[in-house]
Structure 1
C-alpha cells in the first residue's frame, strides 16, 4: 500500500498551559518577599491596579467635616481646644512675676509638656512614630574596614592596586580563596610582588585576616600574641589529629605530654578561626510566618493566614471606565483592555494562592495533631501525595505551596516542608515512625552517653528496635547521624576522654 499525504480534521480534548496559567503556577512557590516584589512591579506597570489601602490614582478624597456652631468634639476638646488655652508661663509673665509664685504646683509639670522637636513628627493624631532603624548607624563592611587600613600600610600606587584586588578576593570568613599565582596573572605582575603586599595586609585588624587556610589564620593570631613557638607550630601542622581528637598520637607527634597538649589546645580555642565574620556581610532578613496555628477556644486548632504578608490589590474599574470613554485610539484601547485582563488575573491568582495555602496548611495541622500536642516524638510520617489526595489537588501543587512557606505553631516556627518525612517500618505492627522522630531519638541517645559507654551505630539500631520496634539498619543510623553533623563513635570516645579530668 502506497503512502500518500492527506488532510484530516480531528476533534479532541487537551490541556494547554497558557502564559497566565504558568504565571499562576509560579506564584504558588514564591515566598512572601518575592511575591511582594512581583506585585510592586505590576503596580508600576499596570495603571489599573491599586493597593487596597489606597495611595494610587483614583483614590477618593476624605470627606470634609461639617462646621458646627458652639460645640466641639472630644478630639477638639483634648487637642485643638487645649492649644488655645494660655499656659501657666504666659499667665505668670502677665503679672510680671515668676511661675513659682503664681502656680507652685504647675511649674515642673508645665515644663514637661513642652514639645520635643525630634518627636513631634510622630506625636500627631493618626501619624506614625519615627522609625528607630533610621537613627541606627550601619555596621562597617569588611571591605571598607580593610580599605581604610590599607591606605596607611601601602603607599605605592601599584601596590595599592594589588591591595584592593586582594581585599576584593576575601570571602566572608576573611580568607583569601584565590591562589597567589592566579592573582598575579590577572594583574600582570609577579608572584613575589603579590606576596609582598599580602604580608603587609596581614598586619591589618582583625588579626588573622588575609590567611589562605585555617592553619595560617591561627598562626597569625598566635604570632601576634608571641606564642608561636616551634612546638605550637608542630601542633598547627597536625590539625587533622586535633579534628580526630587523637591526643595520644598528637602528643607523640609533637613531643609533648598530655598536660602540655591540653594547654595548647585551650589556647587554640581562644582564637577566632573566622576573623571576618564580625563585620556586616549582607542584610539579615527575619523569617516571617505565612500561616498562624493557634489553639481554638472550642478545642482543636485554628489556622489563619498572616495578612501582613499578603499583598492586597484592587482593580480600579472607575478609572478604566473614565479613560476608555475619552480615548479614541485603537492601540490605547487595546492597551487598556490588556491591563484590565492582567489586573483581573492577578487579583484572582492572589486570592487563589491564599486559599490554596490555607487549605494545605489546614490539612497538615489535621494530620500532625499529635506533633502539636505532644512534640516531635509524635510526628507522623507524611508525604505530599497523602496531603494532595486529602484535599483533591495535584502533588506538584502541594509541593509548590509548601516551598519557602513557614508556619508558626505553639511548638515553634517551622517550614512547611519540615512536616513531610519518610516512614520507617515498625516490627510491632503499629503505625510507621517518622524519620524526623528517629533522628531526634538518635540525638537523644548520643547526648546521654558517657565516656565509658559510647554507643556504636549497631547498638543504636538495636536500642531503637527494642524501645519502639523501629526497623532501622546500621547504615541508616549512620546516614542520619552524619546528616546531623555528629561524629562517629570513635571520634566521640576521643572527645569525651579529652574533656574528662586526667587520671580517669
Structure 2
C-alpha cells in the first residue's frame, strides 16, 4: 500500500464568538438598572466615553450620536409656559434651610426631599424603650432583644445564648421580654404565630380556655378541620364561628404596618398608547436608555500628542473601538427591544382592547420568525423587561402563554386566559353552588375550552384556591 502526502485548499464557514459578541449578547438580557451600572463601569475605564446631561449635551466638546435617538422610538416632551418674575420675596423664617447658593438657576429641589421620613419599627421600639422605667441592666437586655427584632415584628433569637453572651441569667432576659411584649403594636416580640395571637388576645382580655385551645391548634385551622377544632375547644359551631371571626381581626405580622424601606417601583422599558389614527403607538422609555457619547475632540487631541508612541496609540485606538462598539451595541439593543415589543403588540392587540380573557397563546418561535431572529435572542430581550399598557404594567414574558385547544374547532386559548376564566367562575360561586373540578371542566367546554380535570386542579392550586370541599366548608364558616 502506497502512502503519500498532498496539499489541499478548502473553504468553510464558521461562527467565531468574540468577546465583544459575548458582551453584546449579555447586554440584551440586562435590566435597565444593570445596564446603567455596566455603562458607568465602561465610562470609568474608557476616557473617550461620556454621559449626556439632561439637556442632551455633555460636559465637554462632544461629537457623536445619542443612543436614545427619536428614530428608534424614544420621545421627549417639552412643555413651555410663561415664567413669573414678580413673585414676592418670602420672609426669612419661611425660606428653606438648604443652601440656595448651591442650586443652579432654573433648578428646583425634588419634592421627595420635603416628604416627612416614615418611622421604622426599630425607631418605634427604641422610643418606647427610652420611655420605659428600665434599670441600666434591663435597658441593656432590651436593646439586645430589639437588635434581633425582624421587620415583621417577630423575635428570632435563642434566649439562653443571648443570656450567655450578656453574662446574665436567662430568667432576667425572659422578664425583660415579657415587658417588651406589652409594647405597641400588640403582638410584637413574639417568637411564634401562636404566641403573637396570644399576646394580642391577652391585651383584649379574650384569652379564655377555649381560645387558648384554638391558638394551640392552628394547624387544624389551616386544614379547615372545624370538626376537630370544636372537639378540642369544647364549643358548638356558633361559638367556633365567633372565635374564628375574632382571630381574623388580629394581625399575624404586627411589624408590617411600619415601612421598612422606600417603595420599589417598576420602570417600564416600553410604553404602548392608543394612536390617534387607530392602532397602537409603541415607544421606548428614554429613562431606561443610557445617553452615551464619544468625545471625538478629546480623542483627536490625545492622538496628536502621543503620535510618536506606538504603544500609547494602540491603547487609544483600542479605547476608541470599544467606545464605538458600546454605542452600536446599545443602539442595537434598543432597536431589538422595540422590534420584539411591536410584534408582541401586533399579536396581543385584542388583549389590550378587551382584557385578559382575550389573551392569545404565543411562543418565542412565532416572534422570532416574524422579526427574523433566533428564539434565544427573543428570550434574552423579554427577560426583566416591562411594558406599560392601558391594562397596566406587564413583563414581556407575560404575553407568552401555552395554547389550550378549543373544543369547538376554533382558535386555541391561552393558559393565562383559561386561569382567568377558572378564577372568575370560582369567585361567582355561592354556598349552594360550589363547582367541583369536573363541573369546571364541563362549564369550560361549553365556552369552547377543552381542558383536562388534572389541568384545572393544577391551575387552581397555582392560584392558591382550595378544593370544592374546602371552599364549601369555608363558605359555611364565612371564611371564603
TM-score (norm 2): 0.83
Instruction: Give matches, 1:363-402, under 5 Å.
Output: 363-402=343-382
Specify whether residues 172 and 22 from structure 1 end up closer, same or farther in structure 2 by C-alpha distance, changes over 3 A only: farther
Equivalent position to 1:424, from 396, 404, 409: 404
- How far apart are residue 367 of structure 1 and its match? 1.0
In structure 2, the partner of 1:73 is none
For residues 79 and 260 of structure 1, the distance between their equivalents in structure 2, rounded to whole angstroms, comes to 69
- How far apart are residue 422 of structure 1 and its match? 0.4
Structure 1 residue 346 corresponds to structure 2 residue 349: no
- How many residues align? The count is 446
Specify whether residues 410 and 156 from structure 1 end up closer, same or farther in structure 2 by C-alpha distance, changes over 3 A only: same
Q: Are the counterparts in 1 of residues 284 and 338 from structure 2 also a CA contact under 8 Å? A: yes
Equivalent position to 2:340, from 333, 356, 360: 360
Of 221-230 and 418-427, more deviation after overlay is shown by 221-230
Q: Which runs of 5+ in 1 are unaligned?
A: 2-6, 61-76, 83-111
Q: Are the counterparts in 2 of residues 407 and 413 from structure 1 also a CA contact under 8 Å? A: yes
In structure 1, the partner of 2:59 is 56
Of 148-157 and 439-448, more deviation after overlay is shown by 148-157
- Tell which has more relative contact order, 1 or 2 (C-alpha 8 A, sep 6+): 2
In structure 2, the partner of 1:202 is 181
- How far apart are residue 410 of structure 1 and its match? 2.0
For residues 78 and 203 of structure 1, the distance between their equivalents in structure 2, rounded to whole angstroms, comes to 57
Q: Are the counterparts in 2 of residues 121 and 130 from structure 1 also a CA contact under 8 Å? A: no
Structure 1 residue 36 corresponds to structure 2 residue 36: yes
Instruction: Give matches, 1:405-424, under 5 Å.
Output: 405-424=385-404
In structure 2, the partner of 1:131 is 110
- How far apart are residue 413 of structure 1 and its match? 1.7
Q: Which runs of 5+ in 2 are unaligned?
A: 2-6, 64-81
- How far apart are residue 164 of structure 1 and its match? 4.8
Specify whether residues 430 and 178 from structure 1 end up closer, same or farther in structure 2 by C-alpha distance, changes over 3 A only: farther
For residues 43 and 236 of structure 1, the distance between their equivalents in structure 2, rounded to whole angstroms, comes to 59
Instruction: Give matches, 1:325-340, under 5 Å.
Output: 325-327=304-306, 332-340=312-320
For residues 114 and 169 of structure 2, the distance between their equivalents in structure 1, rounded to whole angstroms, comes to 47
In structure 1, the partner of 2:263 is 284
Structure 1 residue 236 corresponds to structure 2 residue 236: no
- Structure 1 residues 51-103: Cα deviation after superposition (integer angstroms, max 9, x where no partner): 2323434469xxxxxxxxxxxxxxxx9988x8xxxxxxxxxxxxxxxxxxxxx
Q: Are the counterparts in 2 of residues 455 and 489 from structure 1 also a CA contact under 8 Å? A: yes
For residues 254 and 46 of structure 1, the distance between their equivalents in structure 2, rounded to whole angstroms, comes to 73
In structure 2, the partner of 1:92 is none
In structure 2, the partner of 1:474 is 453
Structure 1 residue 487 corresponds to structure 2 residue 466: yes
Structure 1 residue 436 corresponds to structure 2 residue 443: no
Q: Are the counterparts in 1 of residues 62 and 293 from structure 2 also a CA contact under 8 Å? A: no
Instruction: Give matches, 1:58-457, under 5 Å.
Output: 58=61, 113-115=88-90, 118=95, 127-150=106-129, 152=132, 155=135, 160=140, 163-164=142-143, 166-178=145-157, 180=159, 195-327=174-306, 332-457=312-437
Specify whether residues 218 and 26 from structure 1 end up closer, same or farther in structure 2 by C-alpha distance, changes over 3 A only: same
In structure 2, the partner of 1:47 is 47
- Structure 1 residues 261-315: Cα deviation after superposition (integer angstroms, max 9, x where no partner): 2332232222211111122323322112111112223322221111122111110
Q: Are the counterparts in 2 of residues 457 and 478 from structure 1 also a CA contact under 8 Å? A: yes
- How far apart are residue 130 of structure 1 and its match? 2.3
For residues 430 and 333 of structure 2, the distance between their equivalents in structure 1, rounded to whole angstroms, comes to 51
Q: Are the counterparts in 2 of residues 246 and 494 from structure 1 also a CA contact under 8 Å? A: no
What value does the CA root-mean-square deviation take over the aligned residues? 3.3
- How far apart are residue 441 of structure 1 and its match? 0.4
Specify whether residues 139 and 478 from structure 1 end up closer, same or farther in structure 2 by C-alpha distance, changes over 3 A only: same
For residues 83 and 275 of structure 2, the distance between their equivalents in structure 1, rounded to whole angstroms, comes to 40
For residues 187 and 333 of structure 1, the distance between their equivalents in structure 2, rounded to whole angstroms, comes to 64
Of 29-38 and 198-207, more deviation after overlay is shown by 198-207
Q: Are the counterparts in 2 of residues 244 and 494 from structure 1 also a CA contact under 8 Å? A: no
- How far apart are residue 388 of structure 1 and its match? 1.0
For residues 456 and 165 of structure 2, the distance between their equivalents in structure 1, rounded to whole angstroms, comes to 48
Specify whether residues 359 and 264 from structure 1 end up closer, same or farther in structure 2 by C-alpha distance, changes over 3 A only: same
